[in-house]
Chains A and B, each alone.
Chain A
């Protein structure tokens, strides 16, 4: 859906990206920061998949039931890999947060800044 020359789907992804960025930058709780990071990641994946979509196209599985035009398979492959990267980064981030909590007893950035 296009509105004054701007593709609204892409615009939605950008807005989602910026929301995630805000969460990451402004929130003081570490878990919320990591959640913000995940929101940003989802936004980028959504952007890549919508780019590969075809209006009324079938998924790129060439079996009896499907017919061209097909959605492009490469964005899906990229996003699949991207999701695994997102999972890995989030896993390591959470493990670090566990360490910080274990050592400092808090995961609020403001409190962490005052501690020695």
Chain B
């Protein structure tokens, strides 16, 4: 079996190198990739979408349907993980998960929440640093979301940062306390935010301009276009963050 693998790899390598060798050398401004569709986006992008960051413009305006399917993919991942049978099987490590409303909650108001609360003992230094940086990470994520159409950043990036923040908190403060950040009844709504908001915005665009997810081009409707973009960004960010958080929580290793 091992030799079959190596043979397969070499065959793949040979064919790909042969194909790739024929490609035009990258990096030159007049390569076909820059002349055709890309050039038009750069040229008319600002006027048509009102955004400075062309990547976000492509993501939300020119190829908005791709991003809709993208949000659906991340939602599919969550639903897929939730669909699998829960609980440890016969050979899993027997780990007692203390019920969420347990004694831990009693001491939450007392400030003496020590590192020993976490599932895995965490060194005080990490505990302190995370507690200190948590709010700043959150603000940075919000900034990346808000300024997504002017500077590098946007919905997905802020979702990723929020997700990472949630995981850090969960590791440090223990899974149950972090779980209360995303209340159970709200999860069902928040996780569906991405696709549903996209469908709504697309419907609005459809009513206004007759084209699916069409943004009104005239100057008067500038505010409407701005609102649509922000709704999409928020939908992606919040939906994505909640999904990433739930994915982490569902992975009871």
Contacts and interface: CB of A to CB of B under 8 A. Distances in A.
Tell me, yes or no, whether A and B come into direct contact in the complex with CB atoms closer than 8 A. yes
A95 B37 CA distance: 39
Given A52-B33, A91-B77, A74 B90 contact: no
Nearest to A96: B84
A77 B16 CA distance: 24
Which applies to chain A's interface (DSSP): helix, strand, loop or mixed?
Answer: helix
A2 B41 CA distance: 29
B67 A81 contact: yes
Contacts of B55: 60-61, 73, 76-77, 80
Interface of B: 2, 4-6, 8-10, 12-13, 16-17, 20-21, 23, 25-29, 33-34, 37-38, 41-42, 45-46, 52-55, 57-59, 63, 66-67, 70, 73-74, 76-77, 80-81, 84-85, 87-92, 150-152, 156, 247, 250-253
Contact of A88 (B17, B28, B77, B88): B77
B149 to A, nearest CB: 10
19 contacts: A6-B21, A10-B23, A60-B54, A61-B53, A62-B45, A62-B46, A69-B34, A74-B37, A74-B38, A76-B58, A81-B59, A81-B67, A83-B156, A84-B74, A88-B77, A94-B251, A96-B84, A105-B90, A105-B91
Interface in A95-116: 95-96, 98-99, 101-105
Interface of A: 2, 5-7, 9-11, 13-15, 17-18, 21-22, 25-26, 50-55, 57, 59-63, 68-70, 72-77, 80-81, 83-85, 87-89, 91-92, 94-96, 98-99, 101-105
Nearest to A4: B21
Given A7-B25, A95-B84, A99-B89, 9 more contacts: A17-B16, A54-B29, A76-B55, A80-B59, A95-B81, A99-B85, A102-B90, A102-B91, A105-B90
